[in-house]
């Protein structure tokens, strides 16, 4: 069976060596030494000044909204994302305002943002879909003009570089997921990247119940991560460059073998990718379903990622986002992980090409 992804596991002995340190110092959680080591190494690897690990990517978004004092507000966002993006907005008692997407790289259409801004709008929460950068310069321009905060759901963007710096460094706050399915993972985890010390300090309190020592500063939550998750993160980080390189090789093999009529997102200039996903657009939904059946019959399971368009979910007032709705019905992510063999890549491509 070939699933859309297979989580990378480091050599067991390497993970075991990190876990032994937990037994030696008897520190299990609460910002332990392994977590602090991982934070520092990731800050260095990503070249970020303010960087904090939390226990998942969803709570990272919720804390970001809290840290920027965004509540009872309208938030401009995209309908083409995982449900966690919208759930975070709703969970924090805000209202998502969907703006349709571009058909070139599936990110929010910046030309349509301003028409959705009202007196209740307090933020733009955009997604770097599949790790491809939003038009961050234009979003910053709009945000400055209307005095809005900018949060990026950069769940897919670990290791992506845009114009010489980490894609996580854009916006007031960026968040990332370190879930087991991601390029870099710690089984469950995430991070929050702030652009100034004041907000970074606030995030530090928010993730630890709102207090430190005897200093009770605000109402917080428990978003700390454990030493065991940190041990996995350190083990994976030791191999991150070879993981990304392997994913790049698989991507290039797909590019070579797949029918050239299949549309793929376009890279912008000055961009270095992490090869987290391999999305392709079919001609229509019927073609997608036909290919899926042929693949599933051979126990190969790509994913309709993202489907459906979030604006079509039943708990939202009806908003039309024609591009997102159309693409969500035609898009699929093919299997991509460091364990995928050339034989299986060729098998996948042959099945797809023969069923278009």
In this prediction, residues 90-114 reach a mean pLDDT of 96
276 and 328 part of one domain: yes
What is the predicted pLDDT for the residue at 211?
86
Domain of residue 40 covers: 2-237
Q: Which of 175, 173, 107, 120 is nearest to 146 (CA)?
A: 120
Residues 216 and 335 placed together within one structural domain of the fold: no
259 and 229: one domain? no
Which structure tokens are listed for 13? 């002995």
Query: Which tokens go with 218?
Result: 């605000």
Average pLDDT over residues 268-274: 94
Question: Above 90 in pLDDT, residue 203?
Answer: yes
DSSP H or E segment with residue 137: helix 136-146
Per-residue confidence (pLDDT) for residue 150, from 0 to 100: 98
230 and 167 in a common domain? yes
Domain identity same for 304 and 323: yes
pLDDT tops 90 at residue 213:
no
Question: Where among 188, 207, 237 does a domain terminate?
Answer: 237
Q: Pairing between strand 173-177 and 190-194? A: antiparallel
Q: Which residues contact 356 (CB under 8 A, 6 or more apart)?
A: 259, 261, 262, 282, 283, 287, 291
DSSP state of 110: G
**Are 140 and 270 contained in the same domain?**
no
31 and 56 share a domain? yes
Report H helices in 47-117: 57-67, 83-91
Residues 267 and 211 in one domain: no
Q: Compute the mean pLDDT over every residue in the chain, rounded to the nearest whole number.
A: 96
Element holding 191 (H helix, E strand) = strand 190-194
Summarised one tens digit per residue, pLDDT across range 299-317 is: 999 999 999 999 999 988 8
Q: What is the CATH number of the domain that holds 262?
A: 3.90.1150.10
Same domain for 75 and 224?
Answer: yes
* C-alpha pair distances (Å), 68 with each of 151, 194, 202, 283: 9, 10, 9, 42
Query: Are 61 and 204 part of one and the same domain?
Result: yes
My answer on whether 118 and 26 are in the same domain is yes
Strands 173-177 and 215-216: unpaired
Q: Which of 237, 270, 300 is the last residue of a domain?
A: 237
What per-residue string of b and e applies to 163-172 under the rule 16 or more CB within 10 Å gives b? eeebbbbbbb
Contacts of 335 (CB under 8 A, 6+ apart): 2, 3, 4, 5, 278, 300, 301, 302, 344, 348
pLDDT in tens, 133-156: 999 999 999 999 999 999 999 999
Confidence of residue 201 (pLDDT cuts 50, 70, 90): very high
- Spatial CA neighbour of 244 closest among 347, 337, 341: 337
CATH number, domain with residue 12: 3.40.640.10
Same domain, residue pair 190 and 332: no
SS3 of 263-279: the string is ECCCCCCCEECCCCCCE
Candidates 150, 346, 185; CA nearest to 276 is: 185
Model pLDDT, residue 207: 96
Number of domains forming the structure of the chain? 2
């Amino acid at each position: 069976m070939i699933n859309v992804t297979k989580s990378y596991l480091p050599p067991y002995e390497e993970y075991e060596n990190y876990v032994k340190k937990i037994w030696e110092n008897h520190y299990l959680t609460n910002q332990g030494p392994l977590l602090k080591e991982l934070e520092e190494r990731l800050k260095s690897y990503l070249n970020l000044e303010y960087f904090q690990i939390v226990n998942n990517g969803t709570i990272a978004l919720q804390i970001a909204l809290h840290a920027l004092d965004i509540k009872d507000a309208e938030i401009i966002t995209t309908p083409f994302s995982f449900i966690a993006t919208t759930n975070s907005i709703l969970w924090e008692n805000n209202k998502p305002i969907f703006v349709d997407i571009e058909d070139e790289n599936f990110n929010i259409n910046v030309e349509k943002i301003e028409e959705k801004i009202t007196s209740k709008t307090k933020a733009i929460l955009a997604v770097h879909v599949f790790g491809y950068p939003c038009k961050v310069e234009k979003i910053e321009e709009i945000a400055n003009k209307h005095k809005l905060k900018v949060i990026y759901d950069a769940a897919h963007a670990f290791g992506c570089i845009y114009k010489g710096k980490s894609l996580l460094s854009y916006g007031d706050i960026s968040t990332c997921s370190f879930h087991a399915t991601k390029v870099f993972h710690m089984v469950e985890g995430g991070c929050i990247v702030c652009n100034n010390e004041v907000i970074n300090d606030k995030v530090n309190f928010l993730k630890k119940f709102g207090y430190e020592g005897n200093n009770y500063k605000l109402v917080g939550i428990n978003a700390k991560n454990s030493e065991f998750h940190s041990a996995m993160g350190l083990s994976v980080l030791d191999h991150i460059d070879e993981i990304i390189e392997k994913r790049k090789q698989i991507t290039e093999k797909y590019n070579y073998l797949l029918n050239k009529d299949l549309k793929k997102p376009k890279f912008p200039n000055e961009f270095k990718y992490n090869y987290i996903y391999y999305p392709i657009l079919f001609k229509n939904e019927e073609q997608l379903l036909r290919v899926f059946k042929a693949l599933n019959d051979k126990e190969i399971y790509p994913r309709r990622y993202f489907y459906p368009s979030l604006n079509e979910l039943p708990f939202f007032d009806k908003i039309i986002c024609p591009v997102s709705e159309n693409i969500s019905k035609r898009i699929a992510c093919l299997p991509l992980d460091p364990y995928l063999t050339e034989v299986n890549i060729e098998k996948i491509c042959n099945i797809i090409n023969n069923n278009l």
